[in-house]
Chain A
C-alpha cells in the first residue's frame, strides 16, 4: 500500500524517490517483464546491496506484524531477515526458469508493499543499457547565448573554452526542479551508463501538484510520460529522447498544458537553463541528427574525432591514412591493405538495407533497387569489366572513406533529404531567386544502416559514386538534410 495520504498539499518539490507504486498495478508486470531474467536478478541484487537497501527495503516478517492484512494468502511468505531475501534470489539465480517466476517473487513477495519510483527508473535504464536502439535520440548542441557579438571585438583567447557544462548532479537537478516546478511535477533519476560514456537523466512527468498523486497508479509507469536526456562526456551536446512515442494523446482532453508531450517539452526547455551559470547562459540548438543508435550519436556528435570528419574525411578521423611519424613504412604501402581488410570485414552484415523513396525518384541515381535485379546486375558488371569495377571500388573508397563499413560505428537508421533543386536543370542556371513553382523533392532512406546501404549501391554501380552529392556519403553527419544547389543548407540546425 502507498503511504497514508493524510497530508495532501500542493508543493513544488519533485516526486520523491520512495513514492511506492502499489505492487498490484498490472502495468508493473509489463515493466518488469521487459527485462530478461538475468538482468532482473542483477537489479534485485543491486537493490539488496548494503548501500542501497535503505532505499528499497524488502518486505520482511517484521513489516507483516505491523500491517497484517491477508496473511497466509500470499504465495511467498515474508522472509525473516535481509540475508534470507538475498539467499532466496541467489537460489533463483542458480536455478533455471522463466523470468515470470522472478517477477512474481518481486511483486507478490519481497516488494509487495510497492515498487518505488526509483526502482522503476532503474528498470527502465537497465533496459536502455541492454537495448541501445530502443529509443530515438535527437542530438542538440549547447551554445552560449550572447557571446558571439562581444567576443568578436576583443581577441583575448585566455578564457575561450568550449561550452561544456560541468554537471554537478544534485545542483543541476535542484535547478532543473526550480525551473519546472510551477508547471510540471517530475521524478528525476540520474545514472551513469554502463556501456557508453554517457550520463542518463530519466525524467518522469505528471501534472499533479501533489506529493502523493491520487491518479491511477498506472500513470506512474506510463512510458509516454517518461523522457530521457543523455549527457555525453566532454562535449557540448545533449541527447534527448523527445518525440519518441506519441502514445497517450487521448488523455489531453482537459487542458492544453497537461498532456505528456507538452510537459516533456517544458522540461526539455528547462534543461539548458538549469545548466546555465550567471554570465554564462546556454541554449539548445538543433543539429539535424536523429538516430536510434546511441553509438551513432556518440560518433557524430560525441567527444571523439569523428564529429566533423565523416564520409570522405573519415580516413582522417580514424587515421587510416597515415601512421605515426615514427613508422618507417610509407603510408601508401599500408592503406590499401587496410582498405582491403575493411571491405572483407564488411561483407556479411550488409544485406538488410532497403531504401524507399517517398515521393519521387531523383533523375538517375535513385532507381528502385529491387531485390531480383541486383544480383544479376552485379554479376554482369563484375564479369564483363573488372577494370571498371576496380575503378569504381576505388572511387567508392575515396568518396566514403571508411564510413559505411563495419569499422565506423555510426549506423543511421533514417536519412531524410529535401531537395530544392529543379530536377534536370543545371544547378548553375537557377541563380535568380524568384519563387516560381519550385517542386520540393523529399527522399527518405530507412534501414539498419543507411550509409552502408548507399555505399553498397555505389559499389554495385547503381549509384554513381563519382557524381553523387556528399550528403549521401554521410559526410555531413546529419539525418535531416535540406539540399540546394547540391549543397546541404541546414541552418547549422
Chain B
C-alpha cells in the first residue's frame, strides 16, 4: 500500500530481479538453441556423421537418439543453401480450407508455393516473399484427351505496387478468354460451362509461362530493394541522425524528420525516424516519395527542391530541380549525367555542381 514500506520495496526489488533473471534465461535459451542448431547443421558434423549411417550396428543406440535432429538440421541446411543460391524455391502447401469443388477437389487443395528470397545491402535477407499457385483443370470444351492443367495465383505476399494481377493475366493466361472474376474459375459446372460454349470461335488459350512470370516478379522485387538500398546508402553517406538514438546538436535548426521506410519493410515502424546531418552538399533532405521508391525528393538548404526518378536498372532517368529562379539546369544535368547511376549521384553533385552553381545562379538572375 504505502510505497515507503520497506517490505513492499524489497518485494518490488525482488520482483524486478526475478523478471530480469527470467528474461536473461530466455535469452540464453534462445542463444543455446541457436548455437545447437548451428553446430548440428555445421558442415563438419554433418560430414562426420554421414559415413557412419550405413554401418549403424555399432552406435545404433546413439544414432537413434541423435539422428532425427541431425537429419532435420541437414535437410534444413540444404534447403537454406538452395534458397541462398537460387533465390527462388518452390514448396508444396496444402490449403486447409474445406473447399468442396466437385472433381477438382484434390487439385485445388494442393498448392504450389514459390518462395523468393532477396539479399539486401547489409548482407541479410528480407522476409521471404511467397506466391501460392492453384491448379485449375481444363474445362470440358478443351480436347478431352489432354486434361490440361493451368496455374492460377491463389494467394501471394507481394507488395501491392507490383502488379501481380496484370503480370498474371499476360504470362499465366487462363482458359476462359473472358476473365471470370473472383473464384468462379470455370470448372465446367454452373455458368462457367455454358458461356464458353456459346462463344464458338474460341481462340486457343496461350501457353502459360510460369518461369517468366516468377522471373519478372522477382526482377521487380529486386529492383525495388536495390532502389531502397541505394537511397539508404546515399543517406548514410550524407550522414544521418537517428531520432532518439544519436545525440543531435541543438543549435542547428531542425530539419524535417523522415519516417524511415527503408528498414526492411518497416511500414509500421514509427520509431525509425531519421534526419540528415549538416553536410557539405547542402542537402537538407533526401528521401523517397513513396514506398516503392521510384522517385526521390531532394531538398537543399537554400530552398531548391529536386526530384528524380530511379529506373529499374538503378539509373537516374529524369531529374527536375527548381529553385527560386526557376529550374536549375546545371544540377539537373549533374543528376542525370555521367554513368547516370544512382549510387554515384553524390560524386557527380560534388564534381559538376559546386563550381558551376554560383555562375548559374547569377546567369539566371540576370
Contact = CB atoms under 8 A, between A and B. Distances in A.
Interface string A304-336: 111111011100110100101111111111000
Contact of B129 (A151, A301, A305): A305
A237 B167 contact: no
A233 interface: yes
Nearest to B89: A325
A152 interface: yes
Contacts of A325: 80, 83-84, 117, 125
B22 interface: no
A486 B100 contact: yes
Interface string B30-65: 000110011011000000000000000000000000
B160 interface: yes
A305 B115 CA distance: 13
A369 interface: no
A152 B161 contact: no
Interface string B172-211: 0100000101111000011100000000000000000000
B77 A431 contact: no
Interface residues of A, number: 67
Contacts of A399: 96-97
Contacts of B156: 308-309
Interface string B283-296: 00000001110010
Nearest to A147: B166
Interface in B99-157: 99-102, 115, 117, 124-125, 127-130, 132, 155-157
Given A306-B157, A312-B95, A316-B130, A197 B184 contact: no
B155 A491 contact: no
Nearest to A397: B96
B25 interface: no
Main secondary structure of the interface of A (DSSP, over half): loop
B346 interface: no
Interface in A127-165: 148, 151-152, 155, 157, 160-164
Contacts of B72: 330, 332-333
A489 B97 CA distance: 16
B101 A485 contact: yes
Interface stretch (A76-84, A112-120, A207-215, A464-472): A464-472
B171 interface: yes
A489 B184 contact: yes
A12 B225 CA distance: 45
Contacts of A101: none
A237 B160 contact: yes
Given A328-B37, A485-B101, A487-B101, A236 B160 contact: yes
Contacts of B128: 319, 322, 324
Given A151-B169, A157-B170, A303 B182 contact: no
A371 B182 CA distance: 37
Contact of B184 (A308, A313, A487): A487
A44 interface: no
Contact of A235 (B132, B161, B170): B161
B344 to A, nearest CB: 25
B356 interface: no
Residue with the greatest number of chain B CB neighbours at <10 A, chosen from A308, A319, A487: A308
Given A319-B128, A325-B125, A328-B77, A305 B190 contact: no
19 contacts: A151-B169, A151-B170, A157-B171, A157-B216, A162-B162, A233-B290, A305-B159, A305-B265, A308-B157, A312-B97, A313-B132, A317-B157, A326-B125, A328-B40, A331-B76, A333-B37, A399-B96, A433-B191, A486-B99
Given A162-B166, A234-B290, A237-B160, 7 more contacts: A164-B161, A304-B159, A308-B157, A311-B97, A324-B124, A485-B190, A492-B182
Ordered nearest first, which 10 A-B pairs have the shortest CB separation? A234-B291, A235-B160, A492-B181, A470-B97, A325-B83, A305-B157, A162-B163, A330-B76, A319-B127, A316-B130
